């Protein structure tokens, strides 16, 4: 082998390896979680919250459920199908949780995925979790109706209905309605006072509503 061919082969290997390490969306955040775990790995049997920015931006999640072994692993902007394709080996299975709370699907719909697509992604994710962690309890937090995404409301409602029907048919699984508590009782539309200025992410008052619903399950 000539030196030119040898160097070309080495370069190709380095390029391919570097691409593999970049991997997938939010891989930097995943690596940050793994670094955090390398310093102090959460004990098995914890209460794991995964999903998109509604989890990542819940800054006082652990404090609200103080004394409970809560592990927060939200990836802002992530979609439910990405949890199926990419993230479970890195920020779900290693913790061996006794309970998994999932909030995802809203970004999928905003990216023009159908309610059926989203429900199908949850079914795949459920199967993966149940196969790997058969004793874990699985909780799906309903997709919230955000004021800034009002045009997707019908698709959100349909996705929630499909996921609830599936969850109701499975063992150790619960669909939790966190959408209704953030509606204005007079208009039955999203209460904008519970959202930040972007009308997409919940503010502290919005998380108060979620905490009230979730506290009987986080134990």
Say whether 183 sits in a helix, a strand or coil.
strand
Give the pLDDT confidence of 13-40 residue by residue, as tens digits. Answer: 333 334 334 578 999 999 999 999 999 9
Predicted local distance difference test score (pLDDT) of residue 204: 98
Confidence label for 4 from pLDDT (cuts 50, 70 and 90): low
Mean predicted lDDT score pLDDT of the chain = 91
39 exposed, middle or buried (CB, 10 Å; 0-12, 13-18, 19+)? Answer: exposed
How many other C-beta atoms can be found within 10 angstroms of the C-beta atom of residue 18?
9
By percentage, how much of the chain surpasses pLDDT 90?
89
Predicted local distance difference test score (pLDDT) of residue 60: 97
Predicted local distance difference test score (pLDDT) of residue 6: 38
Q: What is the pTM of this model?
A: 0.89
Cα(71)–Cα(213) distance, integer angstroms:
18
197 exposed, middle or buried (CB, 10 Å; 0-12, 13-18, 19+)? Answer: exposed
How much is the average pLDDT of 157-180? 98
CA angle 49, 51, 56 (to 5 degrees): 80
Give the pLDDT confidence of 60-76 residue by residue, as tens digits. Answer: 999 999 999 999 999 99
Give the pLDDT confidence of 81-132 residue by residue, as tens digits. Answer: 999 999 999 999 999 999 999 999 999 999 999 999 999 999 999 999 999 9
Give the pLDDT confidence of 119-143 residue by residue, as tens digits. Answer: 999 999 999 999 999 999 999 999 9
């Amino acid at each position: 082998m000539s030196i030119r061919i040898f160097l070309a082969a080495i370069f190709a290997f380095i390029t391919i390896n570097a691409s593999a390490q970049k991997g997938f969306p939010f891989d930097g955040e995943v690596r940050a979680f793994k670094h955090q775990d390398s310093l102090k790995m959460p004990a098995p049997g914890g209460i794991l919250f995964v999903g998109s920015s509604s989890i990542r931006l819940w800054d006082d999640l652990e404090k609200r459920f103080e004394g409970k072994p809560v592990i927060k692993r939200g990836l802002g902007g992530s979609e439910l199908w990405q949890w199926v394709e990419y993230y479970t080996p890195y920020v779900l299975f290693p913790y061996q949780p006794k309970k998994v709370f999932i909030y995802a699907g809203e970004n999928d719909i905003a990216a023009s995925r159908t309610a059926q697509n989203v429900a199908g992604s949850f079914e795949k994710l459920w199967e993966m979790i149940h196969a790997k962690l058969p004793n874990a309890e699985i909780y799906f937090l309903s997709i919230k109706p955000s004021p800034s995404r009002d045009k997707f409301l019908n698709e959100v409602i349909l996705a929630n209905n499909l996921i609830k029907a599936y969850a109701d048919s499975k063992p150790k699984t619960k669909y939790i309605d966190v959408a209704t508590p953030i509606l204005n009782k007079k208009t039955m539309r999203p209460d904008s006072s519970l959202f930040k200025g972007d009308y997409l992410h919940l503010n502290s008052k919005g998380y108060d509503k979620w905490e009230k619903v979730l506290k009987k399950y986080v134990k």
